[in-house]
């Protein structure tokens, strides 16, 4: 039986619809079906400007890709934050997730959204896909980004830097190690994964001279090892991503957003994929945002979105 993947097309004012239209035709002959959620008018507008959109839109009209129109007749702006766009983006994520909850789709791919646009649309508690999907599915989650074999999971995500130390406790860190180890085994097919755990402070705290959060990190590592998880650290952050160490670890666990994502995006931006660990279905997205500055120009790079789709397909094959 063919498995279905749900796709939310993102913010209508950004580049999400463009990368969807550029990417999906390459998967038309795959063993998977796709159901898309978004505003049909955006694809029609793109088709008026760019011939390459016609191939994708013909596949939609021909039934190869199922499309659920949530945009109505709205005339959406291009390249700026707008609550109308935020509302369609929010509805698209919710509808796609509910399709997975009902068991109709086995995987989820989300195009970029603007958190601010969604908040202005009347959803002030929306702080990102990872957090929102965790609530929808009733699951504790971990954000991981990866490019090739370079994988970085995060203990904290979209919170102010000044609040990060409050979350660096063994109790908070351990579940992220467990979810990372589980995903590496089940979703990525790595039999004996090894995880490098970053310190929070410079020089890994220098035995308490520059902070004591490493005591909590070490305690989480010890607990993980007792569960059979191969975790090492706390690693000195400024050398943790050197090539020799990247070869040593199947994934890293970083303490905060930019600590892990700056090196990941520097080394693999075009092919980077964001994946949510802990959900009952694999969910991925490209590692870039709405890119309002180039929206509507037809120049967005679809590689990251294509990699996100391919990742869900690969995971679903691994789970068979």
Instruction: Say if domain 1-139+279-320 classifies as CATH 3.90.550.10.
Output: no
Residue 320: what pLDDT? 74
**In angstroms, rounded to a whole number, what is the distance separating the alpha carbons of residues 200 and 216?**
10
**In angstroms, rounded to a whole number, what is the distance separating the alpha carbons of residues 135 and 127?**
12
**Could you report the per-residue pLDDT of 56-88, keeping only the tens digit for each?**
999 999 999 999 999 876 789 999 999 999 999
**In angstroms, rounded to a whole number, what is the distance separating the alpha carbons of residues 205 and 22?**
47
- Over range 175-189, report the average pLDDT: 97
**In angstroms, rounded to a whole number, what is the distance separating the alpha carbons of residues 117 and 90?**
9
Instruction: Say if domain 142-276 classifies as CATH 3.30.300.30.
Output: no
Task: Provide the residue ranges of all domains of the chain, joining segments of one domain with +.
Answer: 1-139+279-320, 142-276
Residue 78: what pLDDT? 95
**In angstroms, rounded to a whole number, what is the distance separating the alpha carbons of residues 81 and 293?**
11
Are the CB atoms for 82 and 290 separated by under 8 Å?
no
List 107's β-bridge partners, or say none.
5
Residue 74: what pLDDT? 73
Q: Which tokens go with 178?
A: 């467990």
**Could you report the per-residue pLDDT of 27-62, keeping only the tens digit for each?**
999 999 999 999 999 999 999 999 999 999 999 999
pLDDT at 205 over 90: no
pTM summary value? 0.93
Give me the sheet containing 273-277, strands edge to edge: 66-69, 32-38, 3-8, 107-110, 283-286, 273-277, 142-147, 150-154, 251-254, 194-198, 230-235
- Over range 200-205, report the average pLDDT: 90
Spell out a b/e string for 278-307, using b for 16 or more CB atoms within 10 Å of the CB, else e.
Answer: bbebbbbbbbbebbbeebbebebbbbbbbb
1-139+279-320 matches 142-276 in fold:
yes
Residue 206: what pLDDT? 85
**In angstroms, rounded to a whole number, what is the distance separating the alpha carbons of residues 270 and 248?**
23
Listed residue (171, 138, 17, 134) closest to 79, CA to CA: 17
- Over range 264-281, report the average pLDDT: 93
Of the pLDDT bands very low, low, confident and very high (cuts 50, 70, 90), residue 208 is confident
Residue 198: what pLDDT? 98
CA dihedral 144, 24, 56, 91 (to 10 degrees): -40
> H-helix or E-strand containing 110?
strand 107-110
Residue 51: what pLDDT? 94
């Amino acid at each position: 039986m063919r498995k279905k993947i749900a796709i939310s097309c993102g913010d209508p004012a950004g580049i999400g619809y463009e990368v969807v239209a550029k990417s999906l035709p390459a998967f038309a002959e795959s063993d998977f079906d796709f159901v898309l959620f978004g505003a049909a008018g955006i694809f029609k507008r793109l088709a008026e400007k760019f011939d390459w959109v016609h191939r994708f839109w013909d596949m939609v009209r021909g039934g190869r890709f199922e499309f659920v129109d949530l945009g109505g007749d709205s005339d959406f702006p291009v390249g700026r934050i707008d609550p109308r766009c935020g509302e369609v983006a929010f509805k698209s994520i919710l509808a796609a997730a509910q399709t997975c909850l009902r068991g109709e789709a086995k995987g989820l791919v989300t195009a970029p959204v603007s958190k601010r646009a969604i908040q202005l649309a009347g959803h002030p508690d929306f702080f990102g896909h990872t957090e929102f999907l965790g609530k929808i599915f009733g699951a504790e989650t971990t954000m991981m980004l990866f490019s090739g074999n370079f994988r970085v999971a995060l203990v904290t995500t979209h919170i102010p830097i000044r609040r990060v130390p409050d979350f660096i406790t063994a109790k908070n860190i351990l579940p992220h190690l467990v979810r990372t180890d589980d995903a590496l085994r089940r979703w990525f097919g790595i039999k004996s994964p090894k995880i490098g755990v970053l310190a929070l402070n410079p020089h890994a705290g220098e035995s308490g001279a520059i902070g004591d959060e490493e005591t909590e990190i070490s305690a989480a590592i010890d607990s993980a090892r007792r569960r059979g998880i191969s975790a090492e650290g706390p690693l000195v952050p400024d050398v943790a991503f050197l090539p020799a160490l990247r070869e040593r670890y199947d994934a890293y666990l970083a303490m905060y957003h930019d600590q892990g994502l700056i090196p990941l995006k520097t080394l693999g931006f075009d092919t980077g994929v964001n994946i949510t660990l802990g959900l009952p279905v694999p969910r991925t997205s490209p590692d870039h945002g709405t890119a309002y500055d180039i929206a509507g120009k037809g120049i967005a790079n679809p590689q990251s979105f294509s990699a996100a789709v391919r990742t869900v397909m690969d995971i679903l094959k691994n789970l068979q």
